Amino acid sequence: MAINFFSKLTAAARKNDSLLCVGLDPTPEATPAAFRQAANPILAWNQAIIKATADLVCAYKPNIAFYEALDDGLATLKATLRLIPPEIPVILDAKRGDIGSTASAYAHTIFDLLAVDAVTLSPYLGADSVAPFAEYADRGLFILCHTSNPGAAAIQELPTGSGAPLYLQVAQQALTWSKHENIGLVVGATFPEALTAVRQVAPHAWFLAPGVGAQGGDLAAAVQAAIRPDELGAIIAVSRAVAGASDPRQAADALRAAINAARTAMPTVAAHPAAPAAEVARQSLLTKLYQLGAIRFGQFTLASGLPSPLYIDLRLLVSDPSLLRQAAAAYAAALAGVPYDRLAGVPYAALPIGAALSLHVGKPLLYPRKEVKAYGLGKAIEGAWQPGERVVVVEDLVTSGGSTLKTVELLRAAGLVVEDVVVLIDREQGGRANLAAAGLKLHAVFTLGQVLDNLHHAGLLDAATVAEVQAYLAHQAPE
Protein backbone atom coordinates (compact mmCIF):
# COMPACT_ATOMS: atom_id res chain seq x y z
CA MET A 1 0.00 0.00 0.00
CA ALA A 2 2.00 2.96 -1.23
CA ILE A 3 -0.54 5.58 -0.21
CA ASN A 4 -0.37 6.87 3.37
CA PHE A 5 -3.33 5.72 5.45
CA PHE A 6 -4.51 9.20 6.40
CA SER A 7 -4.32 10.32 2.78
CA LYS A 8 -6.46 7.34 1.80
CA LEU A 9 -8.88 8.11 4.63
CA THR A 10 -9.14 11.78 3.63
CA ALA A 11 -9.78 10.83 0.01
CA ALA A 12 -12.58 8.42 0.99
CA ALA A 13 -14.13 10.95 3.36
CA ARG A 14 -14.22 13.61 0.68
CA LYS A 15 -15.38 11.34 -2.11
CA ASN A 16 -18.31 9.98 -0.08
CA ASP A 17 -18.81 13.22 1.87
CA SER A 18 -18.76 11.10 5.00
CA LEU A 19 -17.12 10.68 8.38
CA LEU A 20 -19.16 7.57 9.11
CA CYS A 21 -17.27 4.36 9.85
CA VAL A 22 -19.39 1.21 9.89
CA GLY A 23 -18.37 -1.57 12.23
CA LEU A 24 -18.48 -5.15 10.98
CA ASP A 25 -18.94 -7.02 14.27
CA PRO A 26 -21.11 -10.05 13.52
CA THR A 27 -22.27 -12.78 15.90
CA PRO A 28 -24.12 -15.97 14.93
CA GLU A 29 -27.05 -15.21 17.26
CA ALA A 30 -27.55 -11.72 15.81
CA THR A 31 -27.37 -12.81 12.17
CA PRO A 32 -30.61 -11.86 10.37
CA ALA A 33 -32.83 -14.75 9.31
CA ALA A 34 -32.37 -13.84 5.65
CA PHE A 35 -28.73 -14.99 5.77
CA ARG A 36 -28.92 -18.02 8.03
CA GLN A 37 -29.33 -20.49 5.18
CA ALA A 38 -26.24 -19.22 3.34
CA ALA A 39 -23.11 -21.39 3.19
CA ASN A 40 -21.39 -18.77 5.38
CA PRO A 41 -24.10 -16.68 7.10
CA ILE A 42 -21.64 -14.23 8.63
CA LEU A 43 -19.94 -13.56 5.32
CA ALA A 44 -23.29 -13.15 3.56
CA TRP A 45 -24.41 -10.64 6.20
CA ASN A 46 -21.17 -8.66 5.93
CA GLN A 47 -21.45 -8.66 2.15
CA ALA A 48 -24.94 -7.20 2.33
CA ILE A 49 -23.83 -4.45 4.72
CA ILE A 50 -20.84 -3.51 2.58
CA LYS A 51 -22.87 -3.51 -0.62
CA ALA A 52 -25.52 -1.27 0.99
CA THR A 53 -23.11 1.26 2.53
CA ALA A 54 -19.88 1.42 0.50
CA ASP A 55 -20.73 4.83 -0.97
CA LEU A 56 -21.81 6.25 2.41
CA VAL A 57 -18.75 5.60 4.59
CA CYS A 58 -15.19 6.82 5.06
CA ALA A 59 -14.01 3.49 6.51
CA TYR A 60 -15.01 0.06 7.82
CA LYS A 61 -14.01 -1.26 11.23
CA PRO A 62 -14.18 -5.01 11.87
CA ASN A 63 -13.50 -6.04 15.46
CA ILE A 64 -11.22 -9.06 15.35
CA ALA A 65 -12.71 -10.56 18.54
CA PHE A 66 -15.96 -11.44 16.80
CA TYR A 67 -14.05 -13.40 14.14
CA GLU A 68 -11.68 -15.09 16.57
CA ALA A 69 -14.78 -16.43 18.36
CA LEU A 70 -15.88 -18.32 15.22
CA ASP A 71 -14.65 -21.76 14.20
CA ASP A 72 -13.36 -20.51 10.86
CA GLY A 73 -13.41 -16.86 11.81
CA LEU A 74 -10.12 -15.62 10.38
CA ALA A 75 -10.98 -17.09 6.99
CA THR A 76 -14.32 -15.26 7.19
CA LEU A 77 -12.53 -12.06 8.14
CA LYS A 78 -10.15 -12.36 5.19
CA ALA A 79 -13.06 -13.03 2.84
CA THR A 80 -14.89 -10.01 4.27
CA LEU A 81 -11.87 -7.78 3.72
CA ARG A 82 -11.76 -8.81 0.06
CA LEU A 83 -15.34 -7.56 -0.33
CA ILE A 84 -14.49 -4.02 0.73
CA PRO A 85 -13.74 -1.66 -2.19
CA PRO A 86 -9.98 -0.96 -2.31
CA GLU A 87 -10.46 2.80 -2.00
CA ILE A 88 -12.25 2.43 1.37
CA PRO A 89 -9.78 2.05 4.27
CA VAL A 90 -10.18 -0.69 6.87
CA ILE A 91 -9.42 -0.15 10.56
CA LEU A 92 -9.00 -3.42 12.43
CA ASP A 93 -10.25 -3.02 15.98
CA ALA A 94 -7.75 -5.28 17.76
CA LYS A 95 -6.55 -3.19 20.75
CA ARG A 96 -3.21 -4.96 20.73
CA GLY A 97 -0.52 -4.05 23.24
CA ASP A 98 2.61 -6.04 23.96
CA ILE A 99 6.37 -5.79 23.57
CA GLY A 100 9.26 -7.28 21.64
CA SER A 101 8.69 -10.28 19.40
CA THR A 102 5.03 -10.54 20.48
CA ALA A 103 4.26 -7.04 19.22
CA SER A 104 6.18 -7.77 16.01
CA ALA A 105 4.12 -10.92 15.47
CA TYR A 106 0.89 -8.99 16.00
CA ALA A 107 2.03 -6.32 13.53
CA HIS A 108 2.96 -8.97 10.94
CA THR A 109 -0.41 -10.69 11.25
CA ILE A 110 -2.42 -7.49 11.05
CA PHE A 111 -0.51 -5.60 8.38
CA ASP A 112 1.03 -8.39 6.27
CA LEU A 113 -1.34 -11.33 6.51
CA LEU A 114 -4.64 -9.49 6.91
CA ALA A 115 -3.34 -6.43 5.01
CA VAL A 116 -5.65 -3.94 6.72
CA ASP A 117 -4.98 -0.21 6.59
CA ALA A 118 -5.00 0.64 10.31
CA VAL A 119 -5.28 -0.90 13.76
CA THR A 120 -6.27 0.11 17.29
CA LEU A 121 -3.54 -0.25 19.93
CA SER A 122 -3.25 0.01 23.70
CA PRO A 123 -0.74 2.55 25.08
CA TYR A 124 -0.34 0.90 28.48
CA LEU A 125 3.03 -0.71 27.72
CA GLY A 126 4.50 2.45 26.21
CA ALA A 127 6.24 3.43 23.01
CA ASP A 128 8.18 0.19 22.52
CA SER A 129 4.92 -1.77 22.28
CA VAL A 130 3.84 0.46 19.40
CA ALA A 131 7.21 0.58 17.62
CA PRO A 132 6.76 -2.60 15.50
CA PHE A 133 3.48 -1.26 14.14
CA ALA A 134 4.96 2.20 13.55
CA GLU A 135 7.54 0.67 11.20
CA TYR A 136 4.74 0.35 8.64
CA ALA A 137 4.89 3.92 7.33
CA ASP A 138 1.80 3.64 5.14
CA ARG A 139 -0.51 2.23 7.85
CA GLY A 140 -2.48 4.00 10.54
CA LEU A 141 -2.24 3.43 14.29
CA PHE A 142 -5.10 4.51 16.56
CA ILE A 143 -3.96 4.65 20.18
CA LEU A 144 -6.58 4.16 22.91
CA CYS A 145 -6.83 7.50 24.68
CA HIS A 146 -10.24 7.91 26.36
CA THR A 147 -12.48 4.96 25.56
CA SER A 148 -16.27 4.95 25.29
CA ASN A 149 -17.16 2.48 28.05
CA PRO A 150 -18.76 3.69 31.32
CA GLY A 151 -15.80 2.58 33.45
CA ALA A 152 -13.21 4.42 31.38
CA ALA A 153 -12.95 7.40 33.71
CA ALA A 154 -11.84 5.34 36.71
CA ILE A 155 -8.36 4.91 35.23
CA GLN A 156 -8.14 7.22 32.24
CA GLU A 157 -9.12 10.37 34.15
CA LEU A 158 -6.71 9.82 37.05
CA PRO A 159 -4.60 12.95 37.62
CA THR A 160 -0.91 12.80 36.76
CA GLY A 161 1.98 14.70 38.31
CA SER A 162 1.29 17.69 36.08
CA GLY A 163 -2.32 17.82 37.24
CA ALA A 164 -3.65 16.83 33.81
CA PRO A 165 -5.69 13.62 33.56
CA LEU A 166 -3.91 10.49 32.34
CA TYR A 167 -5.73 10.39 28.99
CA LEU A 168 -4.33 13.81 28.04
CA GLN A 169 -0.82 12.60 28.84
CA VAL A 170 -1.48 9.61 26.58
CA ALA A 171 -2.65 11.94 23.80
CA GLN A 172 0.43 14.12 24.02
CA GLN A 173 2.95 11.28 24.24
CA ALA A 174 1.39 8.82 21.80
CA LEU A 175 1.54 11.26 18.91
CA THR A 176 5.36 11.24 19.24
CA TRP A 177 5.65 7.47 18.95
CA SER A 178 6.09 7.33 15.18
CA LYS A 179 8.37 9.34 12.92
CA HIS A 180 5.92 8.75 10.07
CA GLU A 181 3.15 10.88 11.66
CA ASN A 182 0.70 8.01 11.16
CA ILE A 183 -0.86 7.98 14.64
CA GLY A 184 -4.45 8.84 15.53
CA LEU A 185 -6.33 8.60 18.82
CA VAL A 186 -9.37 6.67 20.03
CA VAL A 187 -11.63 8.99 22.02
CA GLY A 188 -15.15 7.83 22.83
CA ALA A 189 -18.17 9.74 21.60
CA THR A 190 -19.77 9.10 25.00
CA PHE A 191 -17.34 11.63 26.55
CA PRO A 192 -17.61 14.85 24.48
CA GLU A 193 -15.72 16.81 27.14
CA ALA A 194 -12.79 14.41 26.68
CA LEU A 195 -12.99 14.87 22.91
CA THR A 196 -12.82 18.61 23.46
CA ALA A 197 -9.84 18.35 25.81
CA VAL A 198 -7.93 15.99 23.51
CA ARG A 199 -8.61 18.19 20.49
CA GLN A 200 -6.97 21.07 22.34
CA VAL A 201 -3.71 19.14 22.81
CA ALA A 202 -3.90 17.32 19.45
CA PRO A 203 -5.29 19.91 17.00
CA HIS A 204 -4.26 18.06 13.84
CA ALA A 205 -4.79 14.40 14.74
CA TRP A 206 -7.51 12.11 13.43
CA PHE A 207 -9.81 10.74 16.12
CA LEU A 208 -11.64 7.43 16.00
CA ALA A 209 -14.81 8.07 18.04
CA PRO A 210 -16.87 4.97 18.90
CA GLY A 211 -19.92 5.06 21.14
CA VAL A 212 -22.69 6.54 18.98
CA GLY A 213 -25.76 4.33 18.67
CA ALA A 214 -26.09 1.43 21.07
CA GLN A 215 -23.77 3.04 23.65
CA GLY A 216 -25.80 6.24 23.68
CA GLY A 217 -23.18 8.80 22.64
CA ASP A 218 -24.49 12.23 21.59
CA LEU A 219 -23.65 12.31 17.89
CA ALA A 220 -23.86 16.08 17.41
CA ALA A 221 -21.87 16.84 20.57
CA ALA A 222 -19.20 14.31 19.62
CA VAL A 223 -18.82 15.63 16.08
CA GLN A 224 -18.67 19.25 17.17
CA ALA A 225 -16.13 18.48 19.90
CA ALA A 226 -13.89 16.34 17.68
CA ILE A 227 -14.01 18.07 14.31
CA ARG A 228 -11.09 20.08 12.92
CA PRO A 229 -11.52 23.45 11.13
CA ASP A 230 -11.33 21.60 7.79
CA GLU A 231 -14.45 19.61 8.82
CA LEU A 232 -12.37 16.44 8.89
CA GLY A 233 -10.38 14.73 11.65
CA ALA A 234 -13.16 12.68 13.25
CA ILE A 235 -14.22 9.14 12.36
CA ILE A 236 -17.62 8.40 13.87
CA ALA A 237 -17.77 4.64 14.34
CA VAL A 238 -21.17 2.92 14.47
CA SER A 239 -21.73 -0.84 14.45
CA ARG A 240 -25.04 -2.25 15.70
CA ALA A 241 -27.13 0.76 14.71
CA VAL A 242 -26.28 0.03 11.06
CA ALA A 243 -25.64 -3.71 10.92
CA GLY A 244 -28.68 -4.50 13.04
CA ALA A 245 -31.04 -2.14 11.24
CA SER A 246 -33.84 -3.56 9.08
CA ASP A 247 -32.47 -1.37 6.28
CA PRO A 248 -28.70 -0.82 6.80
CA ARG A 249 -28.44 1.61 3.89
CA GLN A 250 -31.21 3.80 5.24
CA ALA A 251 -29.64 3.75 8.71
CA ALA A 252 -26.17 4.60 7.36
CA ASP A 253 -27.55 7.37 5.15
CA ALA A 254 -29.38 8.92 8.11
CA LEU A 255 -26.26 8.78 10.26
CA ARG A 256 -24.12 10.33 7.53
CA ALA A 257 -26.67 13.13 7.16
CA ALA A 258 -26.71 13.77 10.91
CA ILE A 259 -22.91 13.82 11.05
CA ASN A 260 -22.74 16.23 8.11
CA ALA A 261 -25.34 18.48 9.70
CA ALA A 262 -23.18 18.69 12.82
CA ARG A 263 -20.08 19.31 10.70
CA THR A 264 -21.59 22.31 8.96
CA ALA A 265 -23.57 23.79 11.87
CA MET A 266 -20.46 25.28 13.43
CA PRO A 267 -19.98 28.96 12.48
CA THR A 268 -17.99 29.58 15.66
CA VAL A 269 -15.35 27.13 14.45
CA ALA A 270 -14.90 28.97 11.17
CA ALA A 271 -14.74 32.28 13.02
CA HIS A 272 -12.08 31.04 15.45
CA PRO A 273 -9.89 28.55 13.57
CA ALA A 274 -7.08 28.83 16.13
CA ALA A 275 -9.14 27.22 18.89
CA PRO A 276 -12.12 25.35 17.42
CA ALA A 277 -12.42 22.78 20.19
CA ALA A 278 -12.50 25.43 22.90
CA GLU A 279 -15.25 27.36 21.12
CA VAL A 280 -17.33 24.26 20.54
CA ALA A 281 -16.91 23.22 24.17
CA ARG A 282 -17.99 26.64 25.44
CA GLN A 283 -21.08 26.67 23.25
CA SER A 284 -21.96 23.13 24.29
CA LEU A 285 -21.58 23.96 27.98
CA LEU A 286 -23.80 27.04 27.77
CA THR A 287 -26.43 25.26 25.73
CA LYS A 288 -26.63 22.44 28.26
CA LEU A 289 -26.77 24.88 31.20
CA TYR A 290 -29.67 26.63 29.51
CA GLN A 291 -31.44 23.33 28.79
CA LEU A 292 -30.92 22.25 32.42
CA GLY A 293 -32.62 25.43 33.61
CA ALA A 294 -29.49 26.77 35.30
CA ILE A 295 -29.79 29.96 33.22
CA ARG A 296 -33.32 31.35 33.00
CA PHE A 297 -34.86 34.47 31.52
CA GLY A 298 -38.09 36.12 32.65
CA GLN A 299 -39.07 38.14 35.73
CA PHE A 300 -37.41 37.18 39.01
CA THR A 301 -36.87 38.68 42.44
CA LEU A 302 -33.35 38.42 43.81
CA ALA A 303 -32.39 37.87 47.45
CA SER A 304 -31.85 41.63 47.66
CA GLY A 305 -35.52 42.14 46.79
CA LEU A 306 -34.63 43.75 43.46
CA PRO A 307 -36.18 42.56 40.18
CA SER A 308 -34.07 40.82 37.55
CA PRO A 309 -34.76 39.64 33.97
CA LEU A 310 -32.58 36.58 34.48
CA TYR A 311 -31.81 34.03 37.16
CA ILE A 312 -28.72 31.84 37.32
CA ASP A 313 -28.87 28.74 39.51
CA LEU A 314 -25.69 26.73 39.14
CA ARG A 315 -26.64 24.52 42.09
CA LEU A 316 -28.47 22.46 39.45
CA LEU A 317 -25.12 21.18 38.17
CA VAL A 318 -25.20 18.47 40.84
CA SER A 319 -28.15 16.91 39.00
CA ASP A 320 -26.12 16.25 35.83
CA PRO A 321 -22.77 14.49 36.49
CA SER A 322 -21.71 14.70 32.85
CA LEU A 323 -22.35 18.44 32.74
CA LEU A 324 -20.59 18.90 36.08
CA ARG A 325 -17.51 17.19 34.58
CA GLN A 326 -17.74 19.46 31.55
CA ALA A 327 -17.97 22.53 33.79
CA ALA A 328 -14.95 21.33 35.78
CA ALA A 329 -12.95 21.06 32.55
CA ALA A 330 -13.95 24.63 31.68
CA TYR A 331 -12.84 25.86 35.11
CA ALA A 332 -9.53 24.04 34.66
CA ALA A 333 -8.99 25.71 31.28
CA ALA A 334 -9.69 29.12 32.84
CA LEU A 335 -6.92 28.43 35.38
CA ALA A 336 -4.34 27.35 32.79
CA GLY A 337 -0.98 28.85 33.76
CA VAL A 338 -2.06 29.90 37.26
CA PRO A 339 0.24 28.47 40.00
CA TYR A 340 -1.58 27.16 43.08
CA ASP A 341 -1.38 24.44 45.72
CA ARG A 342 -5.03 24.06 46.72
CA LEU A 343 -8.57 24.99 45.80
CA ALA A 344 -11.07 26.55 48.19
CA GLY A 345 -14.79 26.24 47.53
CA VAL A 346 -17.19 28.93 48.71
CA PRO A 347 -20.19 27.39 50.51
CA TYR A 348 -22.57 26.20 49.34
CA ALA A 349 -23.14 26.25 45.58
CA ALA A 350 -19.44 26.10 44.75
CA LEU A 351 -18.62 23.10 46.93
CA PRO A 352 -19.65 20.36 44.44
CA ILE A 353 -18.04 22.38 41.66
CA GLY A 354 -14.85 22.63 43.70
CA ALA A 355 -14.90 18.88 44.35
CA ALA A 356 -15.33 18.13 40.63
CA LEU A 357 -12.53 20.55 39.75
CA SER A 358 -10.30 19.00 42.42
CA LEU A 359 -10.77 15.57 40.86
CA HIS A 360 -10.17 16.97 37.37
CA VAL A 361 -6.90 18.79 38.11
CA GLY A 362 -5.66 16.61 40.97
CA LYS A 363 -5.36 19.46 43.45
CA PRO A 364 -6.68 19.15 47.03
CA LEU A 365 -9.77 21.06 48.15
CA LEU A 366 -10.55 22.90 51.36
CA TYR A 367 -13.51 25.04 52.30
CA PRO A 368 -14.40 27.59 54.97
CA ARG A 369 -17.45 26.91 57.08
CA LYS A 370 -20.32 29.39 57.09
CA GLU A 371 -20.89 28.56 60.72
CA VAL A 372 -17.98 27.51 62.93
CA LYS A 373 -18.81 24.38 64.91
CA ALA A 374 -19.23 24.81 68.65
CA TYR A 375 -18.19 21.19 69.17
CA GLY A 376 -15.48 18.77 68.02
CA LEU A 377 -12.41 20.61 66.71
CA GLY A 378 -14.33 23.83 66.12
CA LYS A 379 -12.71 24.32 62.71
CA ALA A 380 -13.38 27.42 60.64
CA ILE A 381 -11.74 25.80 57.57
CA GLU A 382 -12.26 22.17 56.62
CA GLY A 383 -9.44 20.26 54.99
CA ALA A 384 -5.68 19.85 55.38
CA TRP A 385 -3.45 22.82 54.60
CA GLN A 386 -0.35 24.74 55.67
CA PRO A 387 0.13 28.51 56.06
CA GLY A 388 1.89 30.01 53.05
CA GLU A 389 0.24 27.74 50.48
CA ARG A 390 -1.32 29.36 47.42
CA VAL A 391 -5.07 28.88 47.16
CA VAL A 392 -7.47 29.58 44.31
CA VAL A 393 -10.99 30.40 45.46
CA VAL A 394 -13.72 28.60 43.49
CA GLU A 395 -17.14 30.27 43.12
CA ASP A 396 -20.13 29.46 40.94
CA LEU A 397 -20.63 33.08 39.86
CA VAL A 398 -19.75 36.59 40.99
CA THR A 399 -22.00 39.63 41.18
CA SER A 400 -20.54 42.25 43.52
CA GLY A 401 -18.03 39.80 45.01
CA GLY A 402 -19.15 40.25 48.61
CA SER A 403 -19.39 36.59 49.59
CA THR A 404 -16.13 35.82 47.81
CA LEU A 405 -14.31 38.56 49.69
CA LYS A 406 -15.53 37.17 53.03
CA THR A 407 -14.07 33.78 52.11
CA VAL A 408 -10.80 35.36 51.02
CA GLU A 409 -10.50 37.29 54.29
CA LEU A 410 -10.97 34.09 56.29
CA LEU A 411 -8.38 32.21 54.26
CA ARG A 412 -5.84 35.01 54.42
CA ALA A 413 -6.34 35.33 58.16
CA ALA A 414 -5.33 31.66 58.42
CA GLY A 415 -2.04 32.41 56.65
CA LEU A 416 -2.98 31.19 53.17
CA VAL A 417 -1.97 33.14 50.06
CA VAL A 418 -5.01 34.02 47.95
CA GLU A 419 -4.57 36.02 44.75
CA ASP A 420 -6.92 34.30 42.29
CA VAL A 421 -10.66 33.59 42.06
CA VAL A 422 -12.26 31.39 39.40
CA VAL A 423 -15.97 31.45 38.52
CA LEU A 424 -18.18 30.01 35.82
CA ILE A 425 -20.05 33.27 35.18
CA ASP A 426 -19.15 36.88 35.91
CA ARG A 427 -22.42 38.81 36.04
CA GLU A 428 -20.47 42.01 35.24
CA GLN A 429 -22.02 43.94 38.10
CA GLY A 430 -18.91 45.24 39.82
CA GLY A 431 -17.43 42.01 41.11
CA ARG A 432 -14.25 42.11 39.03
CA ALA A 433 -13.37 45.64 40.15
CA ASN A 434 -14.16 44.90 43.81
CA LEU A 435 -11.98 41.80 43.75
CA ALA A 436 -9.16 43.66 42.02
CA ALA A 437 -9.25 46.32 44.77
CA ALA A 438 -8.58 43.50 47.24
CA GLY A 439 -5.60 42.23 45.23
CA LEU A 440 -7.52 39.41 43.52
CA LYS A 441 -7.53 38.43 39.85
CA LEU A 442 -10.84 37.09 38.54
CA HIS A 443 -10.74 34.19 36.07
CA ALA A 444 -14.22 33.74 34.55
CA VAL A 445 -15.19 31.02 32.11
CA PHE A 446 -17.92 33.35 30.82
CA THR A 447 -18.96 36.93 31.30
CA LEU A 448 -22.69 37.52 31.24
CA GLY A 449 -22.25 39.33 27.95
CA GLN A 450 -20.67 36.22 26.46
CA VAL A 451 -23.54 34.13 27.82
CA LEU A 452 -26.03 36.36 26.00
CA ASP A 453 -24.03 36.37 22.77
CA ASN A 454 -23.59 32.58 22.72
CA LEU A 455 -27.21 31.76 23.53
CA HIS A 456 -28.42 34.26 20.96
CA HIS A 457 -26.03 32.85 18.36
CA ALA A 458 -27.33 29.34 19.13
CA GLY A 459 -30.90 30.49 18.53
CA LEU A 460 -31.92 30.00 22.16
CA LEU A 461 -32.38 33.68 23.00
CA ASP A 462 -34.15 36.29 20.91
CA ALA A 463 -32.81 39.80 20.29
CA ALA A 464 -35.47 41.45 22.45
CA THR A 465 -34.44 39.43 25.52
CA VAL A 466 -30.78 40.16 24.87
CA ALA A 467 -31.56 43.88 24.70
CA GLU A 468 -33.61 43.71 27.92
CA VAL A 469 -30.82 42.03 29.86
CA GLN A 470 -28.20 44.38 28.44
CA ALA A 471 -30.29 47.36 29.55
CA TYR A 472 -30.61 45.80 33.00
CA LEU A 473 -26.84 45.35 33.21
CA ALA A 474 -26.22 48.92 32.13
CA HIS A 475 -28.63 50.17 34.81
CA GLN A 476 -27.01 47.98 37.47
CA ALA A 477 -23.45 48.86 36.53
CA PRO A 478 -21.53 50.45 39.41
CA GLU A 479 -20.76 54.14 39.12
Which one of 95, 179, 379, 441 is the catalytic residue? 95
> Could you confirm whether 95 is annotated as catalytic?
yes
Q: Three-state SS string across the chain, please?
A: CCCCHHHHHHHHHHHCCCCEEEEECCCHHHCCHHHCCCCCHHHHHHHHHHHHHCCCCCEEEEEHHHHHCCCCHHHHHHHHHHHCCCCCCEEEEEEECCCHHHHHHHHHHHHHHCCCCEEEECCCCCHHHHHHHHCCCCCEEEEEEECCCHHHHHHHCCECCCCCEHHHHHHHHHCCCCCCCCEEEEECCCCHHHHHHHHHHCCCCCEEEECECCCCECHHHHHHHHCCCCCCCEEEEECHHHHCCCCHHHHHHHHHHHHHHHHHCCHHHHHCCCCHHHHHHHHHHHHHHHHHCCEEEEEEECCCCCEEEEEECHHHHHHCHHHHHHHHHHHHHHCCCCCCCEEEECCCCHHHHHHHHHHHHCCCEEEECCCCCCCCCCCCEECCCCCCCEEEEECCEECCCHHHHHHHHHHHHCCCEEEEEEEEEECCCCHHHHHHHCCCEEEEEEEHHHHHHHHHHCCCCCHHHHHHHHHHHHHHCCC
Q: What own/partner pairs with CB < 8 Å and gap ≥ 24 does 241-247 have?
A: 241/212, 241/213, 241/214, 242/22, 242/23, 242/49, 242/53, 242/213, 243/22, 243/23, 243/24, 243/25, 243/26, 243/45, 243/49, 244/30, 247/52
Alpha carbon separation from 159 to 162, 363, 420 (Å, rounded): 8, 9, 22
Q: Indicate which residues carry an active-site annotation.
A: 95
